[in-house]
Structure 1
Amino acid sequence: MLLPRMIEEKMLVLLRQGKISKWFSGIGQEAIAVGVASALEKDEYILPMHRNLGVFTTREVPLHRLFSQWQGKAGGFTGGRDRSFHFGTQEYRIVGMISHLGPQMGVADGIALAHKIRKEQKITAVFTGEGGTSEGDFHEALNVAAVWDLPVLFCVENNGYGLSTPVEEQFKCKNLADKGAGYGMEAHIIDGNNILDIYNKVSELTESMRKDPRPVLLEFKTFRRRGHEEASGTKYVPAELMEYWEARDPIAHYSEFLTREGILSGEKDKLLRQQMTAAIQENLKKAFDEAPVTFDEERELGNVYGKFEYRETVPGPSMKNIRLVDAVSQGLEQAMERFDDLVVMGQDIAEYGGVFKVTEGFAEKFGRERVRNTPICESAIVSAAMGLSINRMKAVVEMQFADFVSTGFNPLVNYLAKVHYRWGQHADVVVRMPCGAGVGAGPFHSQTNEAWFTKTPGLKVVYPAFPYDAKGLLATAIEDPNPVLFFEHKALYRSIYQEVPEDYYTLPLGKASVLREGNDITVISYGAGIHWALEALEEHQEIGVDLIDLRTLQPLDTETIFTSVRKTGKVIILQEDTLFGGVASDISAMIVENCFEHLDAPVQRVGSLETPVPFAGALEEGFLPRQRFKAALHRLLVY
C-alpha cells in the first residue's frame, strides 16, 4: 500500500509543477486495490478504474512505463494516445476502463465466460465506484453474470461521492450490497480500509469461486480523501467527515498493527520509504528523459485497425441455389465448425433459432456454451463479446433488429472501435444487423443505420446484396480480428436467390463488385438499392450503366468508384438510408474532390424521405427511393 501512496504524493507534486496534465487520486483507498490484486492469481484478469494504482503496483508493472503513460510518452502503454489508466496490458492481465465506466463490467463477463467455456478455474475481478452502479451497464452486467453463473468478482468502491454527488442523491438502498439479492447473487460488505479483512475475505471467496463458478458482489466502504480529480477539490466534503476518514487511513492502521505484532520497526519503515523514494526517482528520470512523442500520419492511421492479412479460401465446385438468409446461416455454421473458439450470442438464438431462423439447429449441433441466448441487454452483450476477444476467443452477436443496436451503441463506438488504436488490443467481434424497410415493420424495426458506424474510425461495415457475397464476406468478417458491423437486409432474406458454393470460402473486404458495365452513367449502391437499380435498368436496357455494388462501406473501394466516374462522367449514388448525413453524401464529396474535372453533370444522391420509416404500405413505398431513383436516372441521362 505504501508504494502507490508514495507515487501518488509525487504525482500531486508533479501536477502542481505542470509536468503531468491530470490526476485521479486514490489516497485513502489503497487497501482495496492492493488487497484484491494480492488475493488473485497473477494470470487472472483485473479490470481497475482511475483510483486503483495499487492494482498496477501489486502486479509489478514497471514504474517507468506507468510514468511514461501519464506523461503521454511513447514508452507508456498507449504511445501517447490516451492518458491516465485508460489502457490495458495483456502481459499483466490488466484491462483498464474507459471514461464511460459501465462497459468494463460487461467486458469482465466476457473474460469470465471464456474461462468458463474452456473449463479453466479462473476468476475475473472488475472495479467500479458507487456512482457507476447507477448506470444501466451495471444492472446488465450483473444480471448476465448471474444468469450465466460467471466467476466475476464485482468490486464496488463506495467512497461516498460520485464526483461531488453524495450517495443519498444516487441511490435509495442503505447498502449497495443489498442489490445483490435482486440478481440472486451472493453479496458482502467489507471494510475498505482494512487490508487484512479485504485480503482474507477475497482470498476465501476467490478460492470458492474457482471451484464453484458464480458471481459475487462486494461493497467496500471507504472514502476518497482527494477530489474526483485534483481540479475538483473537496470543498463539498464536510470537515468532520474528512477528519473521520483521515483517522481511519488504511496505511496508518496497518502500520500500527504491524508494529504491535513486532513485524515493522521504525527503522524498517524508514528504509522502505527510502527504497521506494529512490525507485520512484529513478523511474521518473527514465520517463522524463524519454523523448516526447512525434506525429507520424502513416503510423497513426496504421494503428486504427489490427493487422489482418486476407487469405483467400477457394471453395470446391459444388453449388446450390439458396436464399440470402440461407447463405448467412450456412456461412455462420461453417465458421462455427472452423473456429472452435467462436461463440454466438443473441436474443432467442438457441432453440428458437433467432427471429429470422439464421441459427436454427445451432444449439443442438454446437452446444449451449457456444450458442447463447441472452437477456435483453445489448450493451452488456457487446461488452461481453469484447471480453471474449480479450480472452482469446471470437464472438458473433446477433442484434434481433439493427434498430436495437442503439442500446448497445456506447461499447461499440467507444470501446470496440477505439481499443486497438488505444492499446493494441484487437476486438474480434462481428455484430450481425438485420436491417431495412419494405416489410411493413414500422419505425423501430426498419432502419438501415449503417451511417451511424461508417463515420467511426476503427469499425468495419459490410453490407451485401446477394447470397454469394453474404456468405463469403461473413466468413472474412469472422476471420478479421477487427470489429465488423454486418448488415443483412430483411426484405432480401427470402426474396433473393443465387448459386452459392456449398463449401467454406472467403471474399475480401473493401472490394466492390461491378455488376454491369456501360459508358453513360455510373450507379453506385448497396443492399436493397442494388436490386432497385437492377429493376430500373431492366426497364431501360438502352442506358449504358456501370453498376457498382459496394458490398463493404468501411473500408470503401474508392479506386473502383473513381475509375468508373472518370469513364462515364455522370454518377448517381443510391441508398435506402435517409439522405442527409448518409454514406452517399461522403461518396459524393469524394467524387467531387477527386474526379471534378471528369464530371459532365452534378453528382446525384438519391435516398429515402427525411422521416422515420412509416408502417402502412403506401407510406412506406413513398418513403423509399425506388421511384425517385428512376426519375433521377432520366434527369441525369439528358443533362
Structure 2
Amino acid sequence: MHFERKNCSNEELIRLYKSLLLPRMIEEKMLVLLRQGRISKWFSGIGQEAISVGATLAMKPEEWILPLHRNLGVFTSRNMPLSKLFLQWQGSQDGYSNGRERSFHFGNREHAICGMISHLGPQLGVADGIGLAYKLQKKNKATLVFSGDGGTSEGDFHEALNVASVWDLPVIFLIENNGYGLSTPVSEQYRCESLVYKAEGYGMQGVRIDGNNILTVYDTLRGIREYCIKYQRPYLVECMTFRMRGHEEASGIKYVPQELLEDWGKKDPVANFEGFLREQGVLDDSRIEQLRENIRETIELELNEVAGPVHVVPDTEEELVDTYAPAPYVIEEMPPVDAGTPEKRLVDAISESLDQSMQRHSNLVLMGQDIAEYGGVFKVTEGLMEKYGKSRVRNTPLCESAIVGCTLGLSLEGYKSVMEMQFADFVTAGFNQIVNNLAKIHYRWGQAADVVIRMPTGAGVGAGPFHSQSNEAWFAHVPGLKIVYPSTPMDAKGLLAAAINDPNPVLYFEHKALYRSITGPVPEDYYTVEIGKARTVQDGDDLSIITYGAGVHWALDYQQSHPELSLHVLDLRTLLPLDYAAIRETVARTGKVLILHEDTLTGGVGAEIAAFIGEHCFSMLDAPVLRCASLDTPVPFNTDLEKNFLASARLDEYVQKLLIY
C-alpha cells in the first residue's frame, strides 16, 4: 500500500492514526462485550475504518453526514462520547434514541449526523435535500452520504444521483464497495466493471480509490468537497475495501473464500498506516504502544461510567407524545364569513393557501412534477413560479422516492416543503420514504419532518384504476403521520395553511372531482383550521352520517332529495388523528350511525371508526353501526362501472336499512 503524506505534518498524521485506531479498538472491545451478552448485536466495520474516518475528517464538523451501520468511524470522528454510544447500543433510555433504535439507526443534530433506516437507499435522497438547502442558503457547504455496493442496486440510488445532477447539488455519494451485500458477491449484484462508471450516466464526475488507504481517502475527499462547493455539482466516489467479519456477528463469513480473507488481511488499513508511520519516523513501537494504551484507558473509563444493567422504565404517555413533534397551535382565526365573503372553488382555495403560505414562510419550498411553468396537471400552482422563482417552485424529475427524501433533507436544515404527488396513486413509488423515514424520525431521534405531501385523490372523473384510487387508509395505520382531507373550499385553505405550519409530516388529500365542481365562501385573509378537529356540517335527529371528502357532498345531496329526513352529518376533515370526541357526540345525537367513505370497504378508515364506536359508545346505539363504502375492486374506467363502484350508489340502501331499526 503506497501512502503519500503530501503536506501533512507529523501532528496531522498522528491525529489521523489516533482517529483510525479508536474505532478499531472500540470494535474489538464491543466484540468481547457481545460475547458477554452486554450488547445484543453488532455490525462490524473492521477493515473499513479508513473510509469512515478519512471521509468524516475531510468534511467540516457542521456539514451533515449520512452514514450506515458499518461506519463507527463517522461517529467517533465527530467526537461523540463512547459512554453515550454504548448506552445506545445497549438499548438504554439514556442513549441517543431513548432505547427506541438499534446500533447506528439514529441521528444527532449537534454532531450533524442523520441516522440511517434499514432500507439503506432512502438516505441518498435525504442528502439531496440537505444539498438543496445548502444551495438555497448559498452556503459553502457539501453533504456526504454513504452507500454500500448492494445499495447501488436500489432505485433510490438512481433517483438520488439523477436529482442531484439535474439540480446541481453539492452532494458527495460515497460507495463502500466491500465485495458483498451480506452474502451476495458483487458478481451477482451488478455487471459493470466498476460502480464509478455509473457516474458518467448521470453527468457527474466520479473516482475509484483505495478505501483502505487513510491518506488517499482523506486527501481525495477534501478535494472532492472543494469541487462540489466551487462548481455546485455532485460527485461519486467508489472506495474499494473489504469487511473482515460477517454482515453482523451472528451471520459469520463462511461464504468468503479463505484466500480472499488472507489477501485483504494484508491490506488492513490500521496495520499498513501504522507501518508507514514507523517508516517515516513519525512513530516508534514505544509511542504506538503508548497511544494504544491511552485509547484503551479511555475506552475503559467511558464504559465504566455506564457500567451495570440497563433499566428501562416504559412511560406509555411519553412514548405516545414523542411520536409527534410538538405542534404549537397558534390558530390564525378565520375572518367572519358574511354576504360579502367571496365564493371560491376548491382548487382556488388551495392555490390561495399556497400563495399566502409562500409569502408568510420565506423558507417554504414547493416541489413536484410539472408544477413550475406548467402550473401542475390540475393548475393548482399556476402563477406561483413567476411570483416566487424556480428556486422555490421546483419542477422535479420522475423520482417520487428521492423527492420525498429531499423534503426530509430540507427539514434537517430548517426548511418547510410542500411536495405535490401528481396523483395520489403515484405515492406507491415514495411509500417507503413516507412510512419509514418521515413518519418515524421524530420518535427515533427527535428530528421533525416539516413536510406536506399534497395528494390529488379520488374517483368520479373516469380516470381508471391508476388515477382514481382513494388510498388514505394505507397511511392511517402509520404513527407519526397526520392525514388531512378537506371537503370544502373554506376548510381546504385553512387546513393546508395549518399543515404547512405543522412540524410533522402531513398527507393532504385533495379530491380531484371537487376541484372545480364545488364552490363556497372563502375569506381572503390568511387563516388556519386546526388539524384533528371534525366539523358538524348540519344537525339532525334521525341518523348520523360520519364522512369526509366527497362523502360530505353525497350526504348533503341525499338530504336535499329527502327533505322528510333529518340527517346529522359530521365531516371528519382529519383522519389521523381522528376527533374521537366529535365522533362520540355524533353517536349520542341520534343513536344510529352510518359511516360513509369513497374508499373501498375492507380495511377502510370506517372500520376503525366503527370499532371505536362499538368499544366506547355501545350503550348509545339504537342500531348496528353500518359502513357504506365503495366496492372491493379496483376503480373501473367506464363511467357507468365507476358510478356503480362508488359508495354513493348504495347510500340510499344503507340509510333505509338503518331507519327501519
Asked if the contact 2:364–2:417 (Cα under 8 Å) also holds between the matched residues in 1, the reply is yes
CA distance in 1, matches of 2:188, 2:148: 15
CA distance in 1, matches of 2:407, 2:544: 40
Offset of residue 212 of structure 1? 1.5
1:412 maps to which residue?
434
Offset of residue 187 of structure 1? 0.3
Corresponding residue to 2:261 among 242, 251, 261: 242
Corresponding residue to 2:618 among 572, 579, 596: 596
Offset of residue 287 of structure 1? 2.5
- Give deviations 1:528-577, integer Å, cap 9, x for gaps: 01101111111112222210000000111110111121231110000000
TM-score by length of 2: 0.96
2:543 maps to which residue?
521
Q: Does 1:333 align with 2:355?
A: yes
1:135 maps to which residue?
154
CA distance in 2, matches of 1:319, 1:272: 76
Asked if the contact 1:191–1:198 (Cα under 8 Å) also holds between the matched residues in 2, the reply is yes
CA distance in 1, matches of 2:313, 2:292: 36
CA distance in 1, matches of 2:143, 2:341: 46
Offset of residue 285 of structure 1? 1.9
Asked if the contact 2:107–2:113 (Cα under 8 Å) also holds between the matched residues in 1, the reply is yes
The letter for the 1-side match of 2:389 is G
The letter for the 2-side match of 1:440 is G
1:570 maps to which residue?
592
2:185 maps to which residue?
166
Find the residue that maps to 1:121 and give its secondary structure.
Answer: coil
Corresponding residue to 1:45 among 44, 51, 64: 64
Runs of at least 4 residues of structure 1 off by over 6 A? Answer: none
Corresponding residue to 2:240 among 218, 221, 241: 221
Find the residue that maps to 1:515 and give its secondary structure.
Answer: strand
Q: Does 1:472 align with 2:494?
A: yes
Corresponding residue to 1:534 among 556, 562, 583: 556
Corresponding residue to 1:452 among 451, 457, 474: 474
Q: Does 1:511 align with 2:533?
A: yes
Offset of residue 96 of structure 1? 1.4
1:637 maps to which residue?
659
Asked if the contact 2:489–2:520 (Cα under 8 Å) also holds between the matched residues in 1, the reply is yes
CA distance in 2, matches of 1:602, 1:353: 47
CA distance in 2, matches of 1:289, 1:328: 56
Asked if the contact 1:79–1:293 (Cα under 8 Å) also holds between the matched residues in 2, the reply is no
2:13 maps to which residue?
none
- Give deviations 1:236-280, integer Å, cap 9, x for gaps: 000100000000100111001111111111111111111111111
1:433 maps to which residue?
455
Q: Would the alpha carbon gap of residues 291 and 14 (structure 1) be closer, same or farther in structure 2, given more than 3 Å must change?
A: closer
Asked if the contact 2:210–2:239 (Cα under 8 Å) also holds between the matched residues in 1, the reply is yes
Q: Does 1:126 align with 2:126?
A: no
Corresponding residue to 1:199 among 210, 213, 218: 218
Find the residue that maps to 2:222 and give its secondary structure.
Answer: helix
Asked if the contact 1:566–1:598 (Cα under 8 Å) also holds between the matched residues in 2, the reply is yes
Offset of residue 70 of structure 1? 0.1
1:231 maps to which residue?
250
2:10 maps to which residue?
none
Aligned residues: 639
The letter for the 2-side match of 1:307 is P
User: Which aligned pairs between 1:194-593 and structure 2 lie closer than 5 A?
Assistant: 194-289=213-308, 291-316=310-335, 319-593=341-615
Asked if the contact 1:125–1:152 (Cα under 8 Å) also holds between the matched residues in 2, the reply is yes
Q: Does 1:60 align with 2:82?
A: no
Offset of residue 382 of structure 1? 0.3
Name which of structure 1's ranges 204-213 and 415-424 shifts more when overlaid on structure 2. Answer: 204-213
The letter for the 1-side match of 2:25 is M
Asked if the contact 2:588–2:620 (Cα under 8 Å) also holds between the matched residues in 1, the reply is yes
CA distance in 1, matches of 2:200, 2:252: 36
Name which of structure 1's ranges 264-273 and 568-577 shifts more when overlaid on structure 2. Answer: 264-273
Offset of residue 229 of structure 1? 0.3
Asked if the contact 2:425–2:467 (Cα under 8 Å) also holds between the matched residues in 1, the reply is yes
1:626 maps to which residue?
648
Find the residue that maps to 1:400 and give its secondary structure.
Answer: coil
Offset of residue 293 of structure 1? 1.8
Offset of residue 315 of structure 1? 4.7
The letter for the 2-side match of 1:354 is G
CA distance in 2, matches of 1:444, 1:454: 20
1:2 maps to which residue?
21
Asked if the contact 1:475–1:506 (Cα under 8 Å) also holds between the matched residues in 2, the reply is yes
Find the residue that maps to 2:161 and give its secondary structure.
Answer: helix
Find the residue that maps to 2:569 and give its secondary structure.
Answer: strand
- Give deviations 1:314-360, integer Å, cap 9, x for gaps: 25557321100000010011101100000100000000000000111
The letter for the 1-side match of 2:654 is A
CA distance in 1, matches of 2:273, 2:77: 17
CA distance in 2, matches of 1:468, 1:61: 49
Asked if the contact 2:227–2:233 (Cα under 8 Å) also holds between the matched residues in 1, the reply is no
| Structure 2: gaps (5+ residues) | 1-19
Corresponding residue to 1:611 among 633, 639, 642: 633
2:135 maps to which residue?
116
1:23 maps to which residue?
42
Name which of structure 1's ranges 563-572 and 462-471 shifts more when overlaid on structure 2. Answer: 563-572
CA distance in 2, matches of 1:290, 1:543: 66
The letter for the 2-side match of 1:271 is Q
The letter for the 2-side match of 1:125 is L
Asked if the contact 1:73–1:290 (Cα under 8 Å) also holds between the matched residues in 2, the reply is no
The letter for the 1-side match of 2:507 is L
CA RMSD of aligned residues (A): 0.9
Name which of structure 1's ranges 140-149 and 535-544 shifts more when overlaid on structure 2. Answer: 535-544
Q: Does 1:149 align with 2:171?
A: no
CA distance in 2, matches of 1:390, 1:430: 15
2:112 maps to which residue?
93
Asked if the contact 2:90–2:310 (Cα under 8 Å) also holds between the matched residues in 1, the reply is no
- Give deviations 1:273-296, integer Å, cap 9, x for gaps: 111111111111222347522111
Find the residue that maps to 2:25 and give its secondary structure.
Answer: helix
1:69 maps to which residue?
88
The letter for the 2-side match of 1:320 is P
- Give deviations 1:450-490, integer Å, cap 9, x for gaps: 00001100000000000000000000000000000000000
CA distance in 2, matches of 1:316, 1:534: 25
CA distance in 2, matches of 1:456, 1:602: 28
Q: Does 1:175 align with 2:194?
A: yes
Could you tell me the percent identity over the aligned residues?
A: 60
Find the residue that maps to 2:119 and give its secondary structure.
Answer: coil
